[in-house]
Amino acid sequence: MTRSQTIYIKIIKRFFDIIIGLIGTVCLLFPSFIAIFAIYKYKKYDGSIFFTQDRFGKDGRPFKIIKFRSMVANAEELLKADEALYQKYIANSYKLPPEEDPRLTSIGAFIRRTSIDEFPQFINILKGDMSFIGPRPILADELSEYSLDQQKLLLSVKPGATGWWQVSGRSEVYYPERCELELYYAENISLKLDLTIMLLTVKKVLIGHGAH
């Protein structure tokens, strides 16, 4: 990593992360929390409104990613109970089309399609676990898609709520192409690239493209 990239990440990028995190928490997270909480109470869903999951952060440090829960409380058990569906989930880069996913709640598909389920990650950003822009926080199972050298590069930067993979197709882009996109960002991180991703993110969210 070059000296200019290091300065950008440590000072400018972190400054913008804090500003975006604060604005996102107040303007997006709080209002959506009230609405989703009311719906989940009305529907009498079991479990918390939030979903947390272990992911790998910078330098391989584990952290809990936070999302609004879009699935039923026993989602993992439900998925693994159907061997054929579970194998399809793995082959499909750890995703399922909403119409085939038995784990989703009645509003789960909607909050995923609109990316509302991602809003609690503003908390992760403020805590410093994540950046607003970076490679997607990776699951332990997904690390096997990368070689050891690639893992080192991928984990050399903070993961992001949005990134080059997301704006390039997100759930419609599978491994190994996803690896190439994530590694491209990690190797070429810059203010110009971040601004490009930010503008493309707004466009993708507005049209709901690639969000499963």
pLDDT tens column, 109-157? 899 888 899 999 999 999 999 999 999 999 998 999 999 999 999 999 9
Per-residue confidence (pLDDT) for residue 15, from 0 to 100: 97
Per-residue confidence (pLDDT) for residue 51, from 0 to 100: 92
Question: What angle in degrees, to the nearest 10, is found between the helix axes of 191-207 and 177-188?
Answer: 140
Q: For 37-41, 63-67, 127-131, 183-187, which range has the lowest pLDDT when averaged over its residues?
A: 37-41
Looking only at the bridges linking them, the beta strands covering 131-133 and 50-56 are unpaired
Per-residue confidence (pLDDT) for residue 91, from 0 to 100: 85
Average pLDDT over residues 20-45: 94
Average pLDDT over residues 4-17: 94
Q: Is omega for the bond preceding 176 within 30 degrees of 0, making it cis?
A: yes
pLDDT digits (tens, 9 = 90+) for 74-119: 888 888 888 999 899 888 878 888 888 989 988 888 998 888 999 9
Q: Are 171 and 141 in contact (CB under 8 A)?
A: no
Buried b (16+ CB within 10 A) or exposed e, 46-70: eeeeebeeebbbbeeeebebbbbbb
| pLDDT band of 21, cuts 50, 70, 90 | very high
Q: If residue 161 lies in a helix (H) or strand (E), which one and from where to where?
A: strand 160-162
Average pLDDT over residues 58-63: 96
SS3 201: helix
Per-residue confidence (pLDDT) for residue 209, from 0 to 100: 54
Closest to 108 (Cα-Cα) out of 117, 100, 96, 118: 117
| pLDDT band of 73, cuts 50, 70, 90 | confident
**pLDDT averaged over every residue in the chain:** 91
Please give the Cα distance from 159 to 62 (Å, whole number). 11
Please give the Cα distance from 17 to 180 (Å, whole number). 25
Q: How far is residue 172 from each of residues 8, 88, 137, 162, measured CA to CA in Å?
A: 31, 14, 17, 15
Per-residue confidence (pLDDT) for residue 160, from 0 to 100: 97
